Structure 1
């Protein structure tokens, strides 16, 4: 099995500023911290294995029936669960994109095909590109395509697919009897999330599963909490059947409930990201970087000729994400999250020092 590398490794080396993970720059809300701390009293008993209260709250928040919601120990847990529930033989994944899709598919012996996003198109996912890939890879018998994974907004590129375009892709998959898994974990950072969310159309597509997570939106990476919105109760039940019992802790469930009460938090984060993203992008370009357009809280950029930029920054206590292991990208491509202005300035100052030698 291939080795997969992620951001967030602050344990094997000293890091004072972590730009490698794409979490909310506002940090975990105080109300969520308080709820998590208070829930410690319930850690002497098993957590609710079906996350009843959290599912009820998510049902109200998302406008989806309770039986169509499955909670997990982060979105990655549900990605692996979906692979186990469906046991696809052949799947299609965009490249570059989140590595855990392919890793999960490998665990069930699934063959993965890629369709490559084009740098000259800023790595955008275009519907016609997806249709061409479906036609190319969906064959007969053993060549039948079982599953398509799409990430929107895509990680690491930051580009999102509009709702009507995703609906078109979902229709093509439905016609071909292909499962469609849409990872929308970064949807909360879009300036207009409703323009890109396929959740309102979930009932039209029994072949559809939408993945979301508290990890990124509420800066809860250490608590591990995600959920799947399934196009049918049958798909949700298949996912539940392969889940490990008690996979979502009492602390994570309490934190999730509190996070859903933070009505203004995500909007504040969107405003911060919308302000900082163009500013940071422009400053990076002034330093000689090729920055690709992003709609969310991270930037993908090429640092021409700098294959060791991550290591150079790490010596200054700053961690960024090397994208060298993403299919379709090169050794001089990196990703940084959007943080607060004073933190972004520290990153830029370190890059300036490296440039000056």
Structure 2
């Protein structure tokens, strides 16, 4: 299961795609940036040629932006392909997945031949990283996937809080793969990234995605920052043409846009404040601490969660039920943060649904 299945939502509800307000996918609601759309229009004639399999220009842009070297970069058709390329090259004996987690971690690791070790992050109604537990059992040749900011909770684990444990693992030749797909949404993103450390350590790897922050899931672009030796191994045994010409041009424009990230942070700061003052103060639900562009809600039971979700869908609002995540269940929904107008409309529809549910429950009890 995955969010953003707008064509399936249309089949369920009827109507047209533009009538769907998709809160199920954690995409930037203001995107794509105008610079990206202009670059795509200009680049359309490039579809008559094969794309650059070396990804030279986009690597130069990424290297300049993040202070690394082009030889430290591997580009892919979304972060999922980059993850697959990396795990295929590392060929870990076991891959440790902290649940709940993006399902592709397990699926890709299995295809790479790894045994999967699941470790729960749930501690009551809190999320906690079980790195200490993993460190006690992981051995050389294993891989640990650390996703921060975390999907689906929205929680960010500060780099300083896990640095000792990460370095303990890599010093024992355990590969640590850090998925930073949502890190762009943090105000202090640059100081929280592991990219620079990844260039200097053959067992530390960082993955990034352009999909979420630039709202280009239909193009697919992601990249990894790696030690040059690891990147060289990957590039020597992959399909370079998987990153199409338009995706490369879109990424070149996006990562050179100087206005997009300040605009993003301004929007998100305002909307996070609204979410915390509305959803966060409703005593009938639990909103987990979140730092980025989505949040996780726990309802009293699966019945109220399903009722609310169905009522929202009737009004064209689609959220992400989390029953397919390990360690979560049908009482949880994940909600993306969208524009102010859309966020307020969803909040109003949610309140009506909750009032309807509890009114019906009261009548049935009588």
TM-score normalised according to structure 2 size: 0.89
Which residue in the other structure is 1:94 paired with? 98
Mapped pair 1:7 → 2:3: yes
Worse-matched range after superposition: 261-270 or 285-294: 285-294
Aligned counterpart for 2:251 among listed residues 253, 256, 261: 256
Which residue in the other structure is 1:70 paired with? 74
Query: Could you tell me how far apart the structure 2 residues matched to 1:286 and 1:160 are?
Result: 21
1:326: how far off? 1.0
1:138: how far off? 2.2
Which residue in the other structure is 1:273 paired with? 268
Worse-matched range after superposition: 114-123 or 51-60: 114-123
Query: Could you tell me how far apart the structure 2 residues matched to 1:37 and 1:167 are?
Result: 43
SS in structure 1 at match of 2:5:
coil
Which residue in the other structure is 1:133 paired with? 134
Query: Could you tell me how far apart the structure 2 residues matched to 1:12 and 1:115 are?
Result: 32
1:35: how far off? 0.3
Q: Which ranges of structure 1 fall in alignment gaps of 5 or more residues? A: none
1:166: how far off? 4.1
Query: Could you tell me how far apart the structure 1 residues matched to 2:238 and 2:112 are?
Result: 15
How is 1:26-45 mapped onto 2 (pairs within 5 angstroms)? 26-45=30-49
| Bigger radius of gyration among the two | 2
* Structure 1 contact 124–160 (Cα < 8 Å) conserved: no
Query: Could you tell me how far apart the structure 2 residues matched to 1:124 and 1:131 are?
Result: 11
How is 1:142-291 mapped onto 2 (pairs within 5 angstroms)? 146-230=142-226, 232-287=227-282, 288-291=284-287
Query: Could you tell me how far apart the structure 1 residues matched to 2:257 and 2:311 are?
Result: 38
Worse-matched range after superposition: 310-319 or 92-101: 310-319
Query: Are the structure 2 counterparts of residues 22 and 61 from structure 1 closer, same or farther at C-alpha, using a change threshold of 3 Å?
Result: same
Query: Could you tell me how far apart the structure 1 residues matched to 2:42 and 2:274 are?
Result: 39
Which runs of structure 1 show a deviation greater than 4 angstroms over 4 or more consecutive aligned residues? none
* Structure with greater helix percent: 2
Instruction: Please give the root-mean-square deviation of Cα atoms over the aligned residues, in Å.
Output: 1.7
Aligned counterpart for 2:58 among listed residues 50, 54, 60: 54
1:145: how far off? 5.2
Query: Could you tell me how far apart the structure 1 residues matched to 2:72 and 2:298 are?
Result: 41
Worse-matched range after superposition: 108-117 or 339-348: 108-117
How is 1:294-313 mapped onto 2 (pairs within 5 angstroms)? 294-305=290-301, 306-308=304-306, 309-313=308-312
SS in structure 2 at match of 1:177:
coil
1:352: how far off? 1.7
Mapped pair 1:17 → 2:39: no
SS in structure 1 at match of 2:242:
coil
Query: Could you tell me how far apart the structure 1 residues matched to 2:112 and 2:280 are?
Result: 43
* Structure 1 contact 84–242 (Cα < 8 Å) conserved: no
